[in-house]
Amino acid sequence: MQELVSTLEKRKFFIVKLLAFFASLALVFNFFFTLSPPEYFDEKYNMYFVYALIAYKIIELFIIYYILMHRHIRFLKKNSATDAFKAKLTKHTKLLLFLIIQGNTVFGVIAFKLSANVLFFLLFSCIALAAILLFKPKKLL
């Protein structure tokens, strides 16, 4: 279990650096290029889509985090964890860390394109950062 915790801590640190890189890249892109929102929807509806993406991502991340971490931590604390459960936990925690960065980056790019405002991409990066910082692998011990 100690090996899993150290691996997750390394991944967490790498993801924080990756988020900072993506945010910097978005700021540079916004500085040098002009992005216009798509014309196939009215601008008002574009913003509704962006707000829906924000609400969805906040709800999704914290529900998944709660289900994964708190449910599994209670099971581990009972000392009834088997090797199959530990393998499942390893797979799910690594997948969670990947999905946080991947989902927020994709949603951030969509929101950036729909709104033509880099602040929405940065908001999704902050949501991912908050989810990553709330993720405490040492609680698994």
pLDDT digits (tens, 9 = 90+) for 44-96: 788 899 999 999 988 887 787 777 767 776 676 666 667 777 777 778 788 88
Residue with tokens 């090797």: 83
Q: Domain residues for 11?
A: 2-140
In this prediction, residue 93 carries a pLDDT of 80
Domain total for the chain?
Answer: 1
Nearest Cα to 124, choosing from 53, 25, 75? 53
Q: Is 13 helix (H, G, I), strand (E, B) or coil?
A: helix
